[in-house]
Amino acid sequence: MIQTHHLSRRYGPKLALSDLSLRVEPGEILGFLGPNGAGKSTTVKILTGMIRPTSGSALVGGFDIVQQPIEAKRKLGYVPESAAVYDGLTAAEYLDLVACLHHLDPKVAQARRSELLELFDLLEVEDQRMTEFSKGMRQKVLLASALIHRPEVLFLDEPLDGLDANAALVVKEVLKQLAAQGKTILFCSHILDVVERICTRIVIINNGQQIANGTSAEIRETTGTASLEQAFSKLTGVKDVGTVASEFIAALEKA
């Protein structure tokens, strides 16, 4: 379970996140949407204990992420948008490190590592350093590392980024099955049709504030639009995309 209570974060004078209160229940996949710089990554960083909120509180897996960070972090798995890994390690070594940090029994860790690497088609390259990996392969390692300790709560920031179509299908199916097992999943993505297809509920934030919360159908109905894409554009105040594109082309030609 994820629960935030009046969560805010300030970077100097800029308010990146303002008074966010949300609750994600076990078994739910929450689509967390917003334009660039809306405060999505700030929210996820707070919920994963990477930064502290300026005010408010958050519970992850039943633990306060500020007061009990280690306990909360034991319950969560995270795929960061930055795709940061120690790329001098092999995929197997990296998964072993993460397993070690979560105090998994070595035999259990090895079995799960093999399962996950096989699932993501990486078993053949498990002893290859990740400096040699493509973006998609690194993303698969990150997904495997987020799952190896069987976390209760998953934070996925653009998890399909770089994945080929087959791997993306596998990941989407894995997420559905994990949710069916009662895991709590927060899913950040800019690919709206994927969000629409796999998320049970959607929250949209803009300028650090929550501006929509409901199922895709509810949001479409509230905004009076035909698709989630149109609803998103309307809610986040984007001008007509045709006009924006024309202005852009005109600026290029002028330069």
Partner 1 sequence: MPGARMIPRFFAALGIDYAQWLALTKVALKLDWRQTSLGGSRYRARRGSRAAIISQLIFYGIFGFFMAFVVWQGTDVFLVGLVLTSYVFFIVGTAVLIDHNSALTSATDYGVLAFQPVSSRTYFAAKLANVLVYTLAITTVAAFLPIVALFVVHGAAIGFAGVAAIYGISLATALGMLTGYAWMLQRIGADALKRALSYVQLVMSFAIYGGYFLMSKSVVSNLATAKVQKTPWLLLYPGAWFSSYLDLAAGTWSTFDVGLAITSLVLLGVLAAGLGGRLSLDYSARLAALAATPVKQKKSRAARSGGARLEWWHRSGEARAMAVLVRSQFRNDQRFRLTVLGVLPLTLVYVFMGVRDGTIVDPFVPPPAGHGAHFSLVTVAVLMFPSLLKISLSQSESFQAAWVFFASPTDRKRIIQSSKNALVTFFLLPYLAFVAALYVYFVHNVWHVLLHVLFLGLLSHLLLQLMVLLDPELPFSRPWQKSRNSGMLFGFMMVIFVAAALLQVFGPEMYQSVATIGVVLGVLVGTSIIVDLLTRARIAGQAHSLEFEG
Scanning 92-100, 114-122, 164-172, 240-248 for contacts with partner 1 by CB under 8 A, the matching segment is 92-100
Least distance in angstroms from the C-beta of 137 to partner 1 = 15
CA distances from 73 to 6, 46, 99, 133, 229 (A): 21, 12, 13, 27, 34
Using CA atoms of 145, 150, 151, 152 in order, give the dihedral in degrees to the nearest 10. 150
Residue 165, SS3?
helix
Contact 95, 116 (CB under 8 A): yes
CA distances from 66 to 7, 71, 253 (A): 12, 10, 51
Q: Please identify, using beta-carbon distances, which residue of 75 and 234 lies nearer to partner 1.
A: 75
241 part of the interface to partner 1, by CB under 8 A: no
73 part of the interface to partner 1, by CB under 8 A: yes
2 part of the interface to partner 1, by CB under 8 A: no
Residue 106: alpha-carbon gap to chain centroid = 28
93 part of the interface to partner 1, by CB under 8 A: yes
10 part of the interface to partner 1, by CB under 8 A: no
84 part of the interface to partner 1, by CB under 8 A: yes
Q: Which two tokens stand for residue 116?
A: 């996950």
Q: Please identify, using beta-carbon distances, which residue of 12 and 242 lies nearer to partner 1.
A: 12
Least distance in angstroms from the C-beta of 100 to partner 1 = 4
Q: Which two tokens stand for residue 216?
A: 């895709």
Per-residue DSSP letters for 93-125?
A: HHHHHHHHHTT--HHHHHHHHHHHHHHTT-GGG
Per-residue DSSP letters for 25-60?
A: -TT-EEEEE--TTSSHHHHHHHHTTSS--SEEEEEE
Scanning 18-26, 64-72, 165-173, 239-247 for contacts with partner 1 by CB under 8 A, the matching segment is 64-72
Cα gap 233→34, rounded to integer Å: 10
From candidates 101, 111, 244, 250, binder to partner 1 by CB under 8 A: 101
49 part of the interface to partner 1, by CB under 8 A: yes
From candidates 10, 54, 64, 97, binder to partner 1 by CB under 8 A: 97
88 part of the interface to partner 1, by CB under 8 A: yes
Footprint of partner 1 on 110-169 (CB under 8 A):
129, 131-132
The footprint of partner 1 (CB under 8 A) covers 11-12, 45, 48-52, 69-71, 73-74, 76, 78, 80, 82, 84-86, 88-89, 93, 96-98, 100-103, 129, 131-132
